[in-house]
Amino acid sequence: MNRDINIKNMRINCFRQSKVDGIFMLQMRVPGGFVDAKYLEMIQYMAKTWGDGNFHFGTRQTFDIPGIKYDDIPAVNAYIEKYIKEVDAELCEVDMDKIAGEPHEWDPSSGYPTIGARNITACIGNYHCICANINTFELARKLEKIIFPSHYHIKINIAGCPNDCNKAHLCDFGIIGTYKFDYHPERCIGCGLCAKKCEHGATRVLSLDEGTAKILKDPCCCVGCGECARACPTSAWQRHPEPLYRVILGGRTGRQTPRLGKMFLNWASEDVIIAVLKNWQKFSAWVMDYKPEYLHGGHLIDRAGYKKFKEIMLDGVELNPECMVAEDIFWTETEHRSNCNVKPIELHHTAGPQHD
Amino acid sequence: MSYRLSKQEVSGLFEKLSEKYDIYAPKRVKNAGRYSETDIIQYAKISDISEVVWDEKSTYPMKEVLSPIQQTIFYFTEDEYRESKGKTRPMLIFARPCDINAMKVQARIYAGNGGFVDMYYQRMHELARYILMPCSGGDDTCFCVSMGTNTTDDYAMAVKPLEDGMLFEVKDEEFAPCFEKAEKAEFAPEFVKENELTAVIPEIPDKEVLNALKKHPMWKQFNGRCISCGACTIACSTCTCFTTRDVIYGDNPEVGERRRVSASCQIDTFAKVAGGGDYRTTAGDRMRYKMLHKFHDYKARFGESHMCVGCGRCTARCPEFISITVTLRKMNEAVAQIRAELGR
């Protein structure tokens, strides 16, 4: 097949090249992986009309429609205008006429304007789950307008609780819902169930004091999961009015340096999470000398170093009193190719403004 | 006599009443539930009538006002001790018929059982007056009609909130002066005649059937289902079991207090005795004990009625979805089977 196709532009438009020449797969954003089921009819129609009749759940919770012919892409883009407007522009209040905060008029029939900021994934959260501390997709919808549209890449995963089913530990900016708890000793019957649950399913920070038949807690190591409140037969453990969040930074998969993320913020308020992420475009721009290119968010942190990241990301952020910030982060990488990070100095990447 | 008060008059009335009485009512505690963004409703002192939760069953029972989960019964210093002073202000408690009937059960256990009156219960009981709240039949766990606890005349006042005020029936003369200038009205409380749920209590005719029921395999199913958390008995309107605990102040064992703390027969250490013996070692044993206590043993001892008032809080609160009425149905089936086998 003789085709002249700008693959890079296709990718920015969220159409992924396939093994077969001229055939693409569309990836549609579903912020928080949660959307009105009415859109499934739309997905079915698209798959049958322009795709190969099949559907794939994207690994980042996108609606993936494989088998789309290059020539059909304008028709597909025109068809998804309604979806993008309803889900991103209206539900998430995204300003589609901006890219990374800068004015950039969007042609509504042209499909997705950028792929850089990847779809925010989430577990089902406390909309359904008995373990979850937060409404994950509502948070995803609040964050969508901060990171999208943008050519700067970032992967955000939201987990409803520290069990982290959604793998906040394996993305650039993983957000975990937590709570601080009040203990009401006057309601405690000393059954010790919370301590047993904490030992079995959390971090063993609770113990039953044999002298008083009340609970002792090591607040330092509490992960704020809420297993105590879930287990307590008397409501002696009660959540604070508002949830708090843990941010796990710099986790990733990949061929070169897969690694688990590490804690950046602990007990941060929602306002802090939003304020920090508002600095992401600024940080990315600085690292890449204000020339956006498709580069994974974690690599930007590597190039700048954690301390520079911290400086820019916390700029102007008023931390809530409980909030703890990592002074430094020492990631443990798994190098698949021996010493692949050791290389001639001229091959090292740069960070920050470059002076020619 | 019955009266109709405007919203403003109602506020004024309760403001005036709170000069003499502590007013307790089911009150919402936001985000205090077992799961995130869920609430609990528990009995607590209110400072404004708007705090009363009218249309939802409380998570925890009214008994917590009279016999709280934890109370200090005395303080000790070397060879001296002093009883706790407890409450002195009289209480007005918003309650439904099941809650008020449950207090009769509490009184029977605490005040007179075995010829002994528990002073700590009695002194609270004497301070309590009830304001009857309307009940429209509760939720799908309620079965008061089956237990005969859907009506009561043991209340000082009955109320019914309206859009623009409240209806009052004043039974206790003590409160009559508060209504001297109030508009008279036709109002008598209506009682629930039917619940969504009906419970049938098994007839256990003799000891032989009872013993066979105790050994019946039906109880074994709870070994794998019940997690022995005790939430059902804490939520129960009628459970009275408690344990005592001496708490020493700091490092001086001569100074401290003795507390009474609610206990639960469903927790695995409940029937453990000195020497290491344990009378009910499985969750099924403990479930059997609770069910027979509520639906056989209590009545066998005191006559009159069963212990359970059908408030359904045990079912509503169970994290493992064990329904007391379904368990009753299984008991009925087991009893029928046993009676057929024994020919009675």
pLDDT at A349 over 90: no
pLDDT at B35 over 80: yes
- What are the backbone angles phi and psi of residue B40, rounded to the nearest 5°? -120, 155
Option in A130, A185, A235 nearest B32 (CB): A235
> Which two structure tokens, joined as six digits, stand for B176?
């009559």
pLDDT digits (tens, 9 = 90+) for B65-121: 999 999 999 999 999 999 999 999 999 999 999 999 999 999 999 998 989 999 999
pLDDT band, very low/low/confident/very high, at A329 (cuts 50, 70, 90) = very high
Residue of B nearest to A196 (CA): B229
User: Domain boundary at A63, A97, A115, which?
Assistant: A115
pLDDT at A2 over 80: no
The answer to whether the Cα torsion of B217, B223, B225, B227 is positive or negative is: positive
Residue A97 sits in the same domain as residue A16: yes
Cα B338 to Cα A101, B5, B115, B207, B295: the distances in Å are 77, 57, 36, 12, 17
> Which two structure tokens, joined as six digits, stand for B198?
């009906």
B window 258-317, beta carbon within 8 A of A: 261-264, 267
Distance from CA of A244 to the nearest CA of B (A): 12
A window 16-55, beta carbon within 8 A of B: none
Distance from CA of A238 to the nearest CA of B (A): 5
pLDDT at A335 over 80: no
* pLDDT score, position B136: 86
Asked which of A111-115, A342-346, B97-101 is least confident by mean pLDDT, the reply is: A342-346
pLDDT band, very low/low/confident/very high, at A338 (cuts 50, 70, 90) = low
Of the CA atoms within 13 Å of residue A354, those in its CB half-sphere come to 11
What mean pLDDT is reported for chain A? 95
Of all residues in chain A, what percent carry a pLDDT higher than 70? 98
pLDDT at B169 over 80: yes
Length of chain B: 344
Residue A40 sits in the same domain as residue A150: no
Q: What is the mean pLDDT of residues B163-171?
A: 96
* pLDDT score, position A238: 98
Residue of A nearest to B229 (CA): A233
Every domain of chain B and the residues it spans: 2-60+86-184, 207-239+264-342
* pLDDT score, position A345: 87
* pLDDT score, position A219: 87
Cα B344 to Cα B204, B215, B335: the distances in Å are 10, 18, 10
Of the CA atoms within 13 Å of residue A19, those in its CB half-sphere come to 0
Q: Which residues of A touch B272 (CB under 8 A)?
A: none
CA gap A308, A283 in Å, rounded: 9
pLDDT digits (tens, 9 = 90+) for B283-293: 999 999 999 99
pLDDT at A336 over 70: no
Q: What is the mean pLDDT of residues A265-289?
A: 96
Residue A24 sits in the same domain as residue A111: yes
> Which two structure tokens, joined as six digits, stand for A311?
């400086």
Residue A80 sits in the same domain as residue A5: yes
Option in B33, B36, B261 nearest A133 (CB): B36
Using the Cβ of B34 and the Cβ atoms of chain A, whether some distance falls under 8 Å is answered with yes
Domain that holds residue A199: 181-239
Using the Cβ of A221 and the Cβ atoms of chain B, whether some distance falls under 8 Å is answered with no
Contact flag A188-B37 (C-beta cutoff 8 Å): no
Contact flag A132-B261 (C-beta cutoff 8 Å): no
Using the Cβ of A220 and the Cβ atoms of chain B, whether some distance falls under 8 Å is answered with no
pLDDT at A341 over 80: no
CA gap A60, B197 in Å, rounded: 46
- Total domain count for chain A? 3
ipTM over 0.85: yes
pLDDT digits (tens, 9 = 90+) for B176-223: 999 999 999 999 999 999 999 999 999 999 999 999 999 999 999 999
Distance from CA of A137 to the nearest CA of B (A): 15
Determine contact, residues A95/A145, Cβ cutoff 8 Å.
yes
Find where tokens 């993320």 sit: A261
* pLDDT score, position A198: 95
Torsion (CA) B146, B148, B152, B154 in degrees, nearest 10: -130
Contact flag B234-A186 (C-beta cutoff 8 Å): no
Residue A172 sits in the same domain as residue A252: yes
Contact flag B229-A233 (C-beta cutoff 8 Å): yes
* pLDDT score, position A332: 86
pLDDT at B306 over 80: yes
Q: Which residues of A touch B32 (CB under 8 A)?
A: 235, 238-239
Residue A110 sits in the same domain as residue A124: no
With residues binned 3-state (H G I as helix, E B as strand, rest as coil), the percentages for chain B, rounded to 5, are 35, 20, 40
* pLDDT score, position A354: 86
Distance from CA of B20 to the nearest CA of A (A): 26
Residue A230 sits in the same domain as residue A281: no
Residue A142 sits in the same domain as residue A280: yes
We report the CATH number of the domain holding residue A224 as 3.30.70.20
CA gap A205, A186 in Å, rounded: 20
User: Domain boundary at A66, A83, A115, which?
Assistant: A115
Residue A225 sits in the same domain as residue A322: no
Residue A41 sits in the same domain as residue A92: yes
User: Domain boundary at A71, A91, A115, which?
Assistant: A115
pLDDT digits (tens, 9 = 90+) for B253-276: 999 999 999 999 999 989 999 999
Residue A140 sits in the same domain as residue A159: yes
* pLDDT score, position B222: 98
Q: Which residues of B touch A232 (CB under 8 A)?
A: 34
H runs (alpha helix) in chain A? 7-12, 39-49, 73-79, 81-83, 136-147, 193-201, 227-231, 270-277, 280-287, 297-304, 306-313
Which of B27, B29, B36 best probes binding to A when mutated, by most A CB atoms within 10 angstroms? B36
pLDDT digits (tens, 9 = 90+) for A44-62: 999 999 999 999 999 999 9
pLDDT digits (tens, 9 = 90+) for B12-28: 999 999 999 999 999 99
Residue A253 sits in the same domain as residue A328: yes
pLDDT at A206 over 70: yes
We report the CATH number of the domain holding residue A152 as 3.30.413.10
